[in-house]
Amino acid sequence: MMQGVRIDLISEERLAQMASMEKIRLILDNVREGTIVILESGLTPDEQSVLIEMTMQEILPDGFSGIEIETYPSKQRGTSVFSRFIRGDDESRRLTVIGPANQLKMIRKDRGLISAWISGR
């Protein structure tokens, strides 16, 4: 049997077809199995908050250790109050990396790069 770490890359198109709770459940179920999940378009701030809340409820002392999550914001066309009002939420996200806290450690993040250390179980 092949040893290693499973990584699921989920497209923006697939995420757009899912309700918020479907996305969160998909992420949590996969991460609980030890999978690293990479979302092309990320989660909304509200979805990310719910994901963290649900994760906290599922942590077990000798089992699921929680999640590590890192994302970087998409390019902002303008940051004035007026431009945010016209466009709506300017906190849209892109590329998000999520994995088991005991396997995934973020090393570095800047505007265009997320570096992570992934260990086997």
Q: Does 1 reside within a domain?
A: no
Give the global pTM: 0.79
Domain count, the chain: 1
Per-residue pLDDT tens for 32-87? Answer: 999 999 999 889 989 999 999 999 999 988 888 999 998 876 665 555 544 444 44
**What's the pLDDT at 23?**
96
Q: State which residues form the domain around 20.
A: 7-118
Q: Does 2 reside within a domain?
A: no
Cα–Cα dist 54/1, whole Å: 32
Asked if residues 7 and 38 have their Cβ atoms less than 8 Å apart, the reply is: yes
Percentage of the chain exceeding pLDDT 90:
45
Q: Does 60 reside within a domain?
A: yes
What's the pLDDT band for 90 if we cut at 50, 70, 90?
very low
Between 81 and 110, the more confident residue is 110
**What's the pLDDT at 118?**
86
